[in-house]
Amino acid sequence: MWFKFFGLIGVNALVRRHLNDPVNWVAFIRNNELDKKTQIWWRDSLELPHLFDYEICDNQAAD
């Protein structure tokens, strides 16, 4: 519910811009002690371009 509300008032764009920086992304993960599943949820919800190790391997195998 809050996520949709924040999207309506434009907060998601600000958060997306902040977390798009890899340093801020890592700090966010560490400060909130996010597990891999939760990291993926945040990344997908905010449409961030960050890749995880298994995705990098999959992309290289496809090339």
- 40-61, pLDDT tens digit by residue? 898 888 888 878 777 765 555 5
Q: What is the pLDDT of residue 60?
A: 53
Pairwise CA distance, residues 38 & 61, whole Å: 26
The encoded tokens of residue 27 equal 């700090």
What are the φ/ψ torsions at residue 50 (nearest 5 degrees)?
Answer: -70, 140
Alpha helices in 21-52 (DSSP H): 22-32, 36-45
Per residue in 10-36, pLDDT (tens digit) is: 677 788 888 888 899 999 999 999 999
| pLDDT, the chain, mean | 77
Three-state DSSP class for 47?
coil
Q: What's the pLDDT at 57?
A: 59
Q: Which residue is associated with the tokens 């890749």?
A: 51
Dihedral of the CA atoms 35, 37, 41, 42 (nearest 10)?
20
What pTM, to 2 d.p., does this model score? 0.65
